[in-house]
Amino acid sequence: MLLLLGCSNAGQQSSQQSGTEQQAKVVPAFAGDSAYAAIERQLAFGPRVPGSEAHQACAQWLEAELRRYGADVRVMRSTVTAYDGTRLPCINMIASFNVQSSNRVLLMAHWDSRHISDADPDPSKRKQPVPAANDGASGVGVLLEIARQAGLKSPRMGIDIFLTDVEDYGAPDDWTGSHDDKQWALGTQQWCRQPHVAGYRANYGILLDMVGAPDATFYREYYSDQYASDVVSMVWQTAARMGHKQLFIDQSGAGITDDHVFVNQLLRIPTIDIIDTRTAGPGTFYPHWHTTDDTLDKISVSTLQSVGDVLMQLLY
């Protein structure tokens, strides 16, 4: 009997170990270098300013990539009005995986480039468009790699990847007309009024904005905590368990008017913003924000990898 009991215990331990190994294999490996390559490809088009040739060409490439990964892709084209009255083409894209599931997560990033580098230290460059390596392309790069992995191994929950347009066309500080928070995130506001699915719902949403700098710091963004503190805690605790405390800093940060604010207000989907903000230095954001220096050499594969690893852990 003792011998049989010993064999039984050994069998249970072996089974538990096997179960642990199986769990470890459930989460696909995020490839930071693949996300980096997707950023490089976006920048190769030039600044993706709404209405430009680069904007149109990049839109076609993004749609083709998402379809190549097996997503159900919906492209929503509309026209929106900027702060100065300019009418702009808006191309929102939603790529869905596991469409049958009602248990869904919304992942977001804006793919457009700002039309002016109004924060550039060189006044002669402030009318030039932003290359937008970090402020736009980094979040898209991470989401494209997640889409690639979802195409290879479908998660049990449904994923909706929303690449939102005309996010960064807000009024500069020296604009003499009116200033309003609603001048930003025009594509997201348009989608909130007319979602790709009538009555669209998701359990929660995560927005990625400026997630590629080597010295990035992600604090608990103020509006995220106001609208969805439990989601913030879930993400930051997951990051801590995975060894990313230095990146996902569990302290209150600045309040940023970003796409997530409108998703919370208009659709009541608890949505948070993973955004690089700073507590030291001259500004709130990454030093090359809204400048001509927001270029590929400012992107870290290691940072992309950490963000992607955390999201994959949550999704799978």
Residue 39: pLDDT over 60: yes
Q: Letter for the amino acid at 234?
A: M
Average pLDDT over residues 226-255: 97
Computed over every residue of the chain, the mean pLDDT equals 93
Question: Per-residue pLDDT averaged across 270-279, rounded?
Answer: 96
Which residue has better confidence, 290 or 156?
290
3-class DSSP state of 74: strand
Q: Which residue has the tokens 């999201």?
A: 311
Arithmetic mean of pLDDT, 97-125: 97
Q: For residue 207, what are the domain limits?
A: 33-315
Please report the pLDDT score of residue 156 as a whole number.
Answer: 87
Helices (H) and strands (E) counted in the chain, each on its own, are: 8, 8
Question: To the nearest 10°, the Cα dihedral for 235, 76, 59, 68?
Answer: 70
Edge to edge, the sheet with strand 271-275 lists: 72-81, 87-97, 158-164, 104-110, 204-209, 271-275
Contact (CB, 8 A) for 310 and 246: no
Higher confidence at residue 280 or residue 295? Answer: 295
Residue 26's pLDDT is 86
Taking only the tens place, the pLDDT of each residue in 114-132 is: 999 999 999 999 999 999 9
Q: How far apart are CA 310 and CA 112, in angstroms?
A: 25
CA 241, 244, 245, 248 torsion-angle sign: negative
Residue range 134-162: mean pLDDT, rounded: 96
Place of tokens 């149109």: 56
**Which of these ranges, 71-85, 165-179, 268-282, 284-298, has the smallest mean pLDDT?**
268-282
* pLDDT of amino acid 19: 45
Q: Report residue 2's pLDDT band, with 50, 70 and 90 as the boundaries.
A: very low
Pairing type for strands 158-164 and 87-97 reads antiparallel
User: Which residue is associated with the tokens 């600045």?
Assistant: 254
Beta-carbon-side half-sphere exposure of residue 240 (alpha carbons within 13 Å): 10
Distance (Å, whole) CA 272 – CA 275: 9
pLDDT score for 70 = 97
Residue range 66-89: average pLDDT?
98
What is the percent of the chain with per-residue pLDDT over 90, rounded to a whole number? Answer: 89
pLDDT by residue (tens digit) across 147-157? 999 999 998 89
**Paired strand residues for 289:** none
- The per-residue pLDDT for 20 is 44
State how far the alpha carbon of 182 is from the alpha carbons of 19, 70, 97, 178, 290, in Å. Answer: 50, 34, 30, 11, 19
Task: Check: CB of residue 107 under 8 Å from CB of residue 146.
Answer: yes
Q: Using 50, 70 and 90 to split pLDDT, how confident is the model at 279? A: confident
Number of structural domains (the chain) is 1
Range from 3-7, 210-214, 234-238 carrying the lowest mean pLDDT: 3-7
Residue 15 belongs to a domain: no
| Choice between 276 and 15, residue whose per-residue pLDDT is larger | 276
How many Å apart are CA 300 and CA 211, to the nearest integer?
9
Would residue 24 count as lying in a domain?
A: no
| Number of C-beta neighbours around residue 233 at 10 A | 14
Decide if 268 is inside a domain: yes
Q: Is residue 117 part of a domain?
A: yes
User: Does residue 88 form part of some domain?
Assistant: yes
pLDDT at 21: 46
- Contact by Cβ (8 Å): 274, 304: no
Interhelix angle 32-44/53-68, rounded to 10 degrees, is 150
CATH number, domain containing residue 106: 3.40.630.10
Residue 73 falls inside a structural domain: yes
In a domain, 220, yes or no: yes
Q: Report if residue 25 sits inside a domain.
A: no
Distances (CA, A) of 139 to 124, 128, 148, 199, 230: 29, 22, 14, 26, 22
